[in-house]
Amino acid sequence: MSLRDVLSPFTAWKHVIDTPVTIQDPFNREAADRYRGFHQNDMDKCIGCGSCEEICQNDAIDMVPVEGQNAGPGDSGLRPMIDYGRCCWCALCVDVCMTGSLTMSNEYTWVDSDPDAFRFIPGVDGKSWDLEPKGYQREDTRRLTGTTRAPMGEMEPEARIGNFDEIVDGFTREQAVIEADRCVECGLCVATCPAHMDIPDYISKVRDGDYEGGLQILYETNPFSQACGRICTHKCETTCAAMHEGDAIAIRWLKRDITDNVPRERYFDLIQKPDVPETGQKIAVIGAGPAGLTTAYDLARKGHKVVVFEALDKPGGMMRYGIPEYRLPYDVLDHEISVIESMGVEIRCNMRVGHEISMQQLEKAYDAVVLSIGLHQGRSTRVPGSEKAEAAIDLLRRITAGEEVPVPEQVAVIGGGNVAMDIARSMARLQKVKYDKVGVTITALEELDRFLADAEEIKEAQEEGCVIYPARGPQEITLEGENVTGLRTWKVKAIFDDEGRFAPKYDEADEMVHPAQMVVEAIGQMSDISLLGAELTEKLEWNRGRIMIDADGQTSEAWLWAAGDVTSGPDVIHAVADGHRVARSVGKMLATKREKLQ
Amino acid sequence: MRELLYRLKDRYHLGTPTFQRDDLTFVTVKRDELRAILTELRDVEGFTHLTFLTAVDWIEEGLFQLTYMINNREANQSLGLRVMLTREDEPGATTGDTIHDLWPTAATYQRELNEMFGINFPGSPRVDEEFILEGWTDLPPYRRDFDTLAYSQQTYRERPGRGRSDPKAHMQETLYPDYPKPREAAHAHKEEAK
Ligand SMILES: Cc1cc2nc3c(=O)[nH]c(=O)nc-3n(C[C@H](O)[C@H](O)[C@H](O)COP(=O)(O)OP(=O)(O)OC[C@H]3O[C@@H](n4cnc5c(N)ncnc54)[C@H](O)[C@@H]3O)c2cc1C
Ligand code: SF4
Ligand code: SF4
Ligand code: SF4
């Protein structure tokens, strides 16, 4: 022992002249600054994810509905109620809180003869310590759940621009586990997914490595999980609990991880048609896109006979003929559709309803008809020379079909949405192959930060050499005889008028001519409804140019339903959700019909 | 500190040290060398104070880690010596080596570890007496296989009137009650078939 150790007790004597630290009145003694006392909860921040309830080892927390807090995107509307008869003040709930809304004041003394007073909802049932700044808050550096998204490998721009190979690698097992581990399984995202996929359940399967179980969960809500795992608009990720204090969970990539990790032939064992009696009832589906095929999948699994009529050479709709191969490879789609066919769905390609067969024939021969024809006509700007323009979706379809499309050295694309990016990037690839260089110009009315396209699509297009001119309005497609020479644009001053109507205003002095031997219009699509014929068109009820449907997708005709882009849109997962709704509605009608016959 | 560890390394098996802070270092040592190292550090190197003795349950690895935190006041240095013990499932079957003769206060820590982790220290004074838990019959509660939630549910009564909602189910009921439920298709048909 050193001398200092021996003397140190006596050094305390030097404090005898200090003000005493003992407190005269122990009943009104304030706790230490970081003391863990009664909770506080910021109602504007709390999202009702229930992570606090889940982690509490004393079962002290109940998530309960609260007046004035409504369920909505990314908020369950529930709030934690704490039973202080059980709480041990450990603060695990504060440490896990996904938003930082939950904190603890340093108030810990409170006397009441009613034990139920000690069960309350912090932040809702007002308390004197609600605004107390002292107490326990989670240190910013300490998180129980990971905040950073696992990295995703993808092909570098130089490697991908000369081909149509898939860009995104998919997670490795290590990356998938890191990402799955970050999910707190709150389920807030489920409400946002149009098809209400059971996201937390399948993410937990990724974590456990049970890919086959995961696949079965995916198929309960989505027979296009492989496609959606790649190209879904992933709106679910915009309401993920993890986004408040870090990156949202990569839900889409985790879905893909499951589908990539089940061997293709195993799908047919895992996703089997339920053992149900044949009903003998028949449904015709028009259009083999995600809406039609989901309807077909559901109805076939209930024992009905389903025939899908498809105008084009192959099924898949815009997933095949719109979305480029580098985002969704054809073999993935082929496999996905083969699972649907294994339910007994019959797909008849090269059968355009209105040509090869009429609506009247279908109405007669089938118990129900589902119209899911999508939007396959490009809209035109109607500026002078626009009759010489190409429609983006036409070009994309021809590229998919392997048709020869003209590939000039310079291409100008009109439009700032995802379709514009898809055609721009597809043409860029063809140019790279033909000329070893890219010459694509993209013009759109909007400023770049208001483009409708996803940010990553814009970034990737730029990386691949496409040049974007935002806030430019098309005035003319310039011609020399029959040949396109360029696109003349004016600077956009405003897109909408004071009442919010579309009425672009231009600065005519700021004119540009973008040299191009091909101009592509990618400003929207519409349905080709000529298949309906005059009589049916007349009979149906319409709503602003779209066929009117009820909440279940039924039209004003008792035998006809409509689903997908043709009535609503705008993406694959909405089409899938529509398909489920319509299938249920059709199924109900068929059941009633059967009962009547019995 | 580095210099000291270099010196010790000649005669003892030391793991790779962690230099956590200027005044705080951790190093793993072998169980049968612990006593010699502690004695030498105490008597020769000025680490006269045992700050604490604590444990970590590495259940997946089948190990208990003991950390002996010792302090040299003169040099303002703390050194955490870690010793790994094979983790036995039976409480009390895992034993550590008592050091109460080096630091009498160790007996108290050892008694606590026996109670909270079920790590026994044969020969340590009063080691089998209750420490803070009274009448405890369950697994030692700091063990990772002790289920705190289940214990609290079994032991403490719920106040009447409690009820809880699951966020996912609550949102389903309030936001999209009419959307087809996942397993509905299959079940509905079973009903129909009956
Ligand atoms: C270029 C492009 C990129 C896109 N990218 C994405 C994306 O990344 N993510 C996403 O979620 N969504 C994307 N979408 C949207 C998505 O593809 C559609 O929302 C979805 O495919 C709509 O499904 P659907 O079944 O309603 O129609 P479609 O997929 O369009 O399918 C309709 C089918 O009906 C057929 N058909 C039409 N008329 C007839 C007829 N008279 N007789 C028989 N068959 C007929 C068509 O040939 C087609 O196969 C993209 C769309 C385009 C155009
Ligand atoms: S402080 Fe601990 S015991 Fe109290 S409610 Fe939070 S998690 Fe539960
Ligand atoms: S963890 Fe935080 S955000 Fe989630 S419900 Fe609890 S208090 Fe609210
Ligand atoms: S993905 Fe996000 S919102 Fe969905 S369950 Fe996981 S943490 Fe919650």
pLDDT digits (tens, 9 = 90+) for A534-543: 999 999 999 8
CB contact under 8 A, A298 and B49: no
Of A76, A116, A584, the CB nearest to B159: A116
**What pLDDT is attached to residue A229?**
97
Q: What is the mean pLDDT of residues B63-81?
A: 97
CB contact under 8 A, A187 and B180: no
Question: Is B167 near chain A, with CB under 8 Å?
Answer: yes
Cβ contact A429:A435 at 8 Å: no
**What pLDDT is attached to residue B184?**
54
What is the residue-wise DSSP string for A383-444?
Answer: -TTGGGPEEHHHHHHHHHTT------S-EEEE--SHHHHHHHHHHHHHHHHHHSS--EEEE-
Q: Predicted confidence band at B93 (pLDDT cuts at 50, 70, 90)?
A: very high
Q: Predicted confidence band at A245 (pLDDT cuts at 50, 70, 90)?
A: very high
Tokens standing for residue A253: 């990539």
Which of B155, B170, B174 is most worth mutating to test chain A (most A CB atoms within 10 A of its CB)?
A: B170
Q: What is the DSSP letter of B92?
A: T
Whether the pLDDT of residue A16 is over 80: the answer is no
Plot region of B84 (φ>0 → left; ψ -120 to 50 → alpha; else → beta): beta
- Ligand in nearest proximity to the CA of A102: 3
Ligand 2 centre distance from Cα of residue A60 (Å): 6
Task: Name the 3-class secondary structure at A135.
Answer: strand
Predicted confidence (pLDDT) per residue in A423-455, tens digit:
999 999 999 999 999 999 999 999 999 999 999
Q: Is the CB of A565 within 6 Å of ligand 1?
A: yes
C-beta neighbour count of A306 within 10 angstroms: 30
Tokens standing for residue A136: 């326990």
Question: Is B165 near chain A, with CB under 8 Å?
Answer: yes
Predicted confidence (pLDDT) per residue in A584-598, tens digit:
999 999 999 999 887
Q: Is the CB of A94 within 6 Å of ligand 3?
A: no
Question: Is B132 near chain A, with CB under 8 Å?
Answer: no
Q: Report the distance separating Cα A293 and Cα A299, nearest Å.
A: 10
Q: Does the complex come out with an ipTM higher than 0.85? A: yes
Q: What is the DSSP letter of A67?
A: T
**What pLDDT is attached to residue A569?**
84
Q: What is the mean pLDDT of residues A146-175?
A: 94
Predicted confidence (pLDDT) per residue in A301-315, tens digit:
999 999 999 999 999
The kind and range of the H/E element at B52 are strand B49-58
Whether the pLDDT of residue A20 is over 80: the answer is no
Alpha helices, DSSP H only, in B45-165?
106-116, 148-155
Whether the pLDDT of residue A8 is over 90: the answer is no
- Ligand in nearest proximity to the CA of A311: 1
Of A4, A64, A274, the CB nearest to B165: A64
Question: Is B46 near chain A, with CB under 8 Å?
Answer: yes
Task: Provide residues with CB under 6 Å of ligand 4.
Answer: A 183-189, 199-200, 203, 240-242, 249, 251
Predicted confidence (pLDDT) per residue in A557-581, tens digit:
999 999 999 998 899 999 999 999 9
Place of tokens 């108290």: B108
Q: Which residue lies with its CA nearest to atom 38 of ligand 1? A: A373
Looking at chain B, which residue has its C-alpha nearest residue A201? B168
- Ligand in nearest proximity to the CA of A227: 1
Distances (CA, A) of A365 to A281, A309, A353, A430: 10, 13, 14, 45
- Residue A245 half-sphere exposure toward CB, CA atoms < 13 A: 22
Report pTM. Answer: 0.88
Instruction: With beta carbons under 8 A apart, name residues in chain B contacting A58.
Output: 148-149, 152, 156
Q: What rounded mean pLDDT belongs to chain A? A: 94
Question: Is B163 near chain A, with CB under 8 Å?
Answer: yes
Q: Predicted confidence band at B188 (pLDDT cuts at 50, 70, 90)?
A: very low
Q: Report the distance separating Cα B185 and Cα B179, nearest Å.
A: 12
List chain B domain ranges. Answer: 2-157
* Dihedral, CA of residue B168, residue B174, residue B177 and residue B178, to nearest 10: -130
**What pLDDT is attached to residue A26?**
65
Q: What is the mean pLDDT of residues A515-544?
A: 93
Q: Report the distance separating Cα B187 and Cα B194, nearest Å.
A: 11
Predicted confidence (pLDDT) per residue in A56-75, tens digit:
999 999 999 999 999 999 99
Whether the pLDDT of residue B187 is over 50: the answer is no
Cβ contact A370:A292 at 8 Å: yes
Whether the pLDDT of residue A348 is over 70: the answer is yes
Looking at chain A, which residue has its C-alpha nearest residue B167? A76
Q: Mind telling me how many Å the CA of A350 is from chain B's nearest CA? A: 31
Task: Name the 3-class secondary structure at A59.
Answer: coil
> What values do phi and psi take at A284, rounded to 5?
-105, 130
Question: Is B156 near chain A, with CB under 8 Å?
Answer: yes
**What pLDDT is attached to residue A555?**
95
Higher pLDDT, A491 or A140: A491
Least confident among A29-43, A140-154, A262-276, A451-465: A140-154
Looking at chain B, which residue has its C-alpha nearest residue A83? B159
**What pLDDT is attached to residue B28?**
97
Instruction: With beta carbons under 8 A apart, name residues in chain B contacting A72.
Output: 175
Q: What is the mean pLDDT of residues A184-203?
A: 97
Q: Which domains does chain A have, with CATH numbers?
A: 22-136 (3.30.70.3270), 168-270 (1.10.1060.10), 282-374+527-597 (3.50.50.60), 377-525 (3.50.50.60)
Q: Report the distance separating Cα A299 and Cα A80, nearest Å.
A: 42
CATH fold label, B2-157: Beta Polymerase; domain 2 (3.30.460)
Q: Mind telling me how many Å the CA of B117 is from chain A's nearest CA? A: 18
**What pLDDT is attached to residue B6?**
93
CB pairs under 8 A between A and B: 121
List the Cα angle A571/A576/A577 in 5-degree steps. Answer: 100
